[in-house]
A and B are shown apart, each in its own frame.
Chain A
Amino acid sequence: MLNHYPWWKWAVIALVIVPGVFYALPNLFGDDPGVQIRGIRGASIESNDFDRVRTMLSAEGLDPKGATLDENGLRLRFVSPEQQLKARDVLQKELGTQYTVALTLLPDTPTWLRLVQARPMHLGLDLRGGVHFLMEVDMASVFRLAEERYVMDIRARLREEKIRYEGVRRIPDGGIEVQLRDADQIDLAQKTIRRQLRGLQVEQTTRNDTVVLVISLSEAERQELSKFALEQNITALRNRIDARGNKEPIVQRQGDRRIVVQLPGEQDPASAKRILGSTATIETMLVDEDHNLEVAVAGKVPPGSKLYRLRDGRPILLKKQVLYSGDNIINAAASIDSQSGGPIVSITLDAMGARINKRVTGDNINKRMAVVYIETRSSVKTDAEGRPILDDDGNALRIKRRIEEVITAPYIRDQLGKRFQIEGLDSVVEASELALVLKAGSLAAPVDIIEERTVGPSLGQANIDRGFLSVMIGFALVLVFMAFYYRVFGLFANVALALNLVLIVAVLSITGATLTLPGVAGIVLTVGMAVDANVLIFERIREELRNANSPQASIHSGYEKAFSTIVDANITTLIAAIVLFNFGTGPIKGFAVTLIIGIITSLFTAIFVTRGVVNLVYGGRRLHELRI
C-alpha cells in the first residue's frame, strides 16, 4: 500500500500557502516615520495641494520617501524622525489652520505588495499605545430638553385652537402636565394634542379634584430621540477629534446609548477627555446700562435682564436677549494678542451671526457687549459607597451644574462684521480648547466617560517586544521538543507549526482583525496546542506499527483513526472560543479571535499539510521500517 496525494490536494495546499505567505509578508517590513495632513471640516486635500506641499518641503531641503493621497488625507513618509519632525513644523506653519498636521508611523510596505492590498496586521491600542474611551450619552437630559420643547409646542397649539389653559408645565420627574381653565374642553385638548403632536402619549387623570392631561413621550419618540442624539454626538465627537488632528481615530456606536472612541498614539488623555466631554459654548448679550447695577444686586433685577458675574467675581447686568451663540460660529482659532500679549480666540460667524453682529454693533457703538461662557458640568450621582444611584429604567441619575461666566464685556468701538475676537481667557490652553470646541460644534447631550483604557507609548512598545519574544521562545521550545521526541516526524510537525504561524498572521492581516496583547498570548497558546493533532496522529502510527502493521498501512490508518478524535476535540475548544468572542470586550475579543483562527489553521496544517509532507517523503516507496 502506498500513500499518495491526488493532484487536487496539492493544489489546495498551494492555494492556501502561497497567498498565505504573500499576505503575511507585509508584517516583516517596519514602519517609516510619517506625517499625515488632513483638512478640517470639509476642507479636503486635492492633488494640487499635494504639489504645494511638495514645493514647501523641497524649499526646506526635505524629500519624502513616498506619499499617498486618499480619503484619510495626505500621508508622507520620511527616512528619519528628524526629517519627520522638521517636515511637520514646516507644514504646520505654511498650511495654516484649515489643515491638521500630525506625526504618525506609516508601514513601509513595498509597492508590489500594496498593489494586492497586502498590509500588515492592525495592532491594538495595548500594543501601539493610545486611548480607548467608552462614553455614555446622558439620555435623561435628551428627554428633558425634548419635553421642554414640547411644552412650548403644546402652548402654541392650544392657543391656535383657542383652548384656554391654566398651566402647561414640565413635571420635574418627567412628563408634562396640562391644566385647562375650562374642564369641558379637556377632550378637545386631548384630541388636538394627539392629532398634532404624534410623538406624545396623552392621558386624562384627576389631580386635586380637577381633571388634567398628563403627557409623556411615546416609546417610539424616545427611541427616535435617542438615535438622533447618539448620531449627532458621534458627529460632534468626530469633528472634535479631527480638529485635534488625531490619526486613525475610531468613533463607533455601541448599543443604544454608548459610543466607543479610540485614539491610537494619543499622548495626552487628560486634554482628550476635556475636549471630548466639553459642553462649553458661548453666547453674546448686550450689557444693560439703563438700570442700576447695585439695585439689581440687592435683588431687584429688572425684567428682561439678568445678573451675571465676571470671572473675577464682579457682578454685571446683561440684557436677557441672546444675540448669537456658539451655533452661529463656523470657525475659531486661538492665538496670542499682539497688543496685550494675552490669549484670544478669533471667531468667524455664519451669515446669520454676521448680520446680527453688524446690526447690533452698528446700533450700539460705545456701549458694551458681553461674551458669556456657558458650560454644563454633569456628574453621576453616587451614594455613600460610591455606587451610582439609578432611576427606574436603570440609568444613572446625574447632578448638573450650569456654569455661566462673563469672559469679557468690552466697549463696542466700531461696527463689526463676521469676525470678532474674544479676550479675557485665563490661559493659552483654555483659549485653544475653547476654539476647538466652538469650531467643531456642540454635543446634543452631555456624555460621560464610563471606561478608559490608556496605554503609554513606552508600554505599548514593551508589550510588542515581550509578546514577540514569547512567541519566538515558545515556538523554539516546541520545535526542539518535537524534533527531539519524534525525530523525522517531529520535523514534519515543525514544518506544519511554522506554516501555522504564517497562516495565523496572514488571516489576521487579510481580515484586518486587531492584534492585542492577549491576542499574542492566544497565538502562543495555539503554538503549544497545535502540535496536539500531530501528537495524536504520531502516537496512533506508533500503535499501529506495534500491532505489526506495515509502515505504509500504519501511516494511513494512523491519520485515518486520529482524524475524528482531532475534529471532536477541536470543535469543543472552538465552542469555548466562540462564546469567549461573543462575551468579550476589546482585549478579550483579541484573544478569542487568534484562538479561533489558530484552531482552524492548525487543523489544516497539522492534518492536511503534514500528511502531504509524509506522503512526499515516504509515500512512493516500499518501507521496511519506520522510525518514529
Chain B
Amino acid sequence: MEFLKRDTQFDFLGKRRLAGMISLALIAVGIASLLVRGLNFGIDFTGGTLVEVSYKDSVTVERVREQLKSAQFDGARIQYFGTSRDILVRLPVGTVENSAGISSEIMETLRLPYLETVAESPQGGVQQCVSELGLGECKVQMRRVEFVGPQVGGELTEKGGLAMIYALIGILIYVAWRFEWRFAVGAVAALVHDVLITISIFSLFGLEFSLPVLAALLAVIGYSLNDTIVVFDRMRENFRKMRKGGALEVMNSSLNQTLRRTILTSLTTLLVVVTLLLIGGEVIKGFSFALFIGILVGTYSSIFIASPVVLGLGISREDMLPVQKEEAEADGLP
C-alpha cells in the first residue's frame, strides 16, 4: 500500500514566498502576543505553591475558594483539573514566613470540614484518613504538591534558556561539519521557527508554560531536525548525482523524493503523541500538546523553511561537489 502516487512533482520551493509570508505573519502575531500577554509561566519558573486534591464527591470551585479565603489564603487561584472532583490550587510566592509549609496548611484547611487526619496508607493505594467514622479512604486526597522557592525558579529560567542556546549551537556545528554552513543556517532557522511558533501558541491560548513543556520544546528541536537532516541528506546526494537542473530543481525533487518518508514518520510519531495527549493524564497534557504542535510545525518547517533558507543563501552545485566533500571529510578524520 502506498499513500501517494509514486513520483510527486510538487513545486515546494516555488511556494517559498507564500510559505515565508505565512510563517512571518504567524511569528509576528506570536511575538505581539508574547509582548502583550506574555507567557503563562508555571511555578517551576515563577516559584510558588501548587496543590492538587481529589475529592470523593464533586465539589465547586467557589466552595474551595471560600474555605481558603477564610484561612487567609487570599492570592489562591483555584480551578478544576480534569474532572469536577479534582481541584488545582495555585499560590504565588507570598510574604508568608514559612513558605514550604503552605501546602501542608492548605491540605489542613481543605480537610477541616471533614474532620479527618491522614493515617498511614499502603503504597500504591489511596490515602487513608482517620475521621469520626474511623479509618477509611480520605474524603480529600492529596494528589500532588509542588513548591518551588523563588531562588530556584530564577535559576531554572536561566538554565532553560541556556539549554536551548547550547542545543542550537551544538546542532549548528554538527550540521556545518557534516554538510555545509548554508545547511546549518537553514536547519537552525527552521528550529528557531518551530520553537517560536510553539511558544506563540502557548502564549496566544494562555496555556501554562511549565518545565515539561520546555523539555518538549527541546524534544521538538530534536525531532524537527531529524526531519530536516533527512531532506538535506537527499539534497547532498542529488547535487552530486543529478547532472541537469539548477539548485532549485535539485532541491525540489529531493523534497519530493523524501516526501513520503516525511509524512509517514510524522504520522507514526503523531499517532503516539495523540495517544499520550488523550491517555497520558492531566500531568503531562501540556507536555504532549507542545510535542503535538511542535511535530506539526516541525514537519512543515523542514519543507518550507529550512530548504528555502538554504536556497536563499545561494547554494549551488559547486558547493556540494564530491571533491570538496572529500576534503571536508579528510579534515574531520583523526
User: Which of these, A81, A269, A535, contacts B103 with CB under 8 Å?
Assistant: A269
| Contact B175 A386, beta carbon cutoff 8 Å | no
Q: Which residue of A lies closest to B187 (CB)?
A: A572
Q: Give the residues in chain B near A597, CB-CB below 8 Å.
A: none
Q: Mark B85-108, 1 if CB is under 8 A from A, else 0.
A: 000000011110111110110011
Q: Mark A529-550, 1 if CB is under 8 A from B, else 0.
A: 1011001100100010010000
| Contact B149 A448, beta carbon cutoff 8 Å | yes
C-alpha spacing A531/B270, complex, angstroms = 12
Q: Give the residues in chain A near B218, CB-CB below 8 Å.
A: 576-577, 579-580, 583
C-alpha spacing A537/B123, complex, angstroms = 46
Q: Give the residues in chain B near A485, CB-CB below 8 Å.
A: 1-2, 264
B72 CB-CB contact with A under 8 Å? no
C-alpha spacing A212/B100, complex, angstroms = 43
A458 CB-CB contact with B under 8 Å? yes
A360 CB-CB contact with B under 8 Å? no
A105 CB-CB contact with B under 8 Å? yes
Q: Give the residues in chain B near A174, CB-CB below 8 Å.
A: none
Q: Give the residues in chain B near A377, CB-CB below 8 Å.
A: 97-98
C-alpha spacing A128/B225, complex, angstroms = 35
B113 CB-CB contact with A under 8 Å? no
A499 CB-CB contact with B under 8 Å? no
| Contact B123 A386, beta carbon cutoff 8 Å | no
Task: Please classify how large the interface on chain B is, using the bins under 10, 10 to 19, 20 to 34, 35 or more.
Answer: 35 or more
Task: Please classify how large the interface on chain A is, using the bins under 10, 10 to 19, 20 to 34, 35 or more.
Answer: 35 or more
A478 CB-CB contact with B under 8 Å? yes
Q: Mark B201-220, 1 if CB is under 8 A from A, else 0.
A: 00000000001101100110
Q: Which residue of B lies closest to A127 (CB)?
A: B124
Most buried by A among B99, B212, B270: B99
User: Which of these, A31, A396, A466, A575, contacts B151 with CB under 8 Å?
Assistant: A396
B131 CB-CB contact with A under 8 Å? no
Question: Which A residues between 518 and 571 are near B, CB-CB below 8 angstroms?
Answer: 518, 521, 524-525, 527-529, 531-532, 535-536, 539, 543, 546, 561, 564-565, 568-571
C-alpha spacing A484/B268, complex, angstroms = 12
| Contact A588 B271, beta carbon cutoff 8 Å | no
A273 CB-CB contact with B under 8 Å? yes
| Contact B171 A588, beta carbon cutoff 8 Å | no
B16 CB-CB contact with A under 8 Å? no
A209 CB-CB contact with B under 8 Å? no
Q: Give the residues in chain B near A546, CB-CB below 8 Å.
A: 6
Q: Which residue of B lies closest to A475 (CB)?
A: B272
- Kindly specify which of A316-324, A364-372, A449-457 makes contact with the partner chain: A449-457
Question: Which B residues between 160 and 184 are near A, CB-CB below 8 angstroms?
Answer: 160, 162-163, 166-167, 170-171, 174-175, 178
| Contact A575 B174, beta carbon cutoff 8 Å | yes
| Contact B141 A129, beta carbon cutoff 8 Å | no
User: Which of these, A459, A469, A561, contacts B144 with CB under 8 Å?
Assistant: A459
| Contact B283 A454, beta carbon cutoff 8 Å | no
Question: Which A residues between 223 and 270 are near B, CB-CB below 8 angstroms?
Answer: 265, 267-270
Can you spell out 19 A-B residue pairs with CB atoms less than 8 angstroms apart?
Answer: A105-B123, A270-B107, A386-B150, A450-B151, A454-B142, A454-B144, A456-B127, A517-B283, A521-B284, A521-B288, A565-B229, A569-B226, A569-B227, A572-B175, A575-B170, A576-B218, A579-B163, A588-B212, A592-B215
Going nearest first, the 8 A-B pairs with the smallest beta carbon separation are A450-B149, A270-B104, A576-B222, A583-B163, A474-B272, A528-B272, A449-B100, A528-B269
Give chain A's interface residues, CB within 8 Å of chain B. 31, 33, 81, 103-105, 126, 128-129, 134, 136, 265, 267-270, 273, 277, 377, 379-380, 382, 384, 386-388, 396, 399, 448-463, 466-467, 469-470, 473-475, 477-478, 481-482, 484-485, 487, 517-518, 521, 524-525, 527-529, 531-532, 535-536, 539, 543, 546, 561, 564-565, 568-577, 579-580, 582-585, 587-588, 591-592, 595
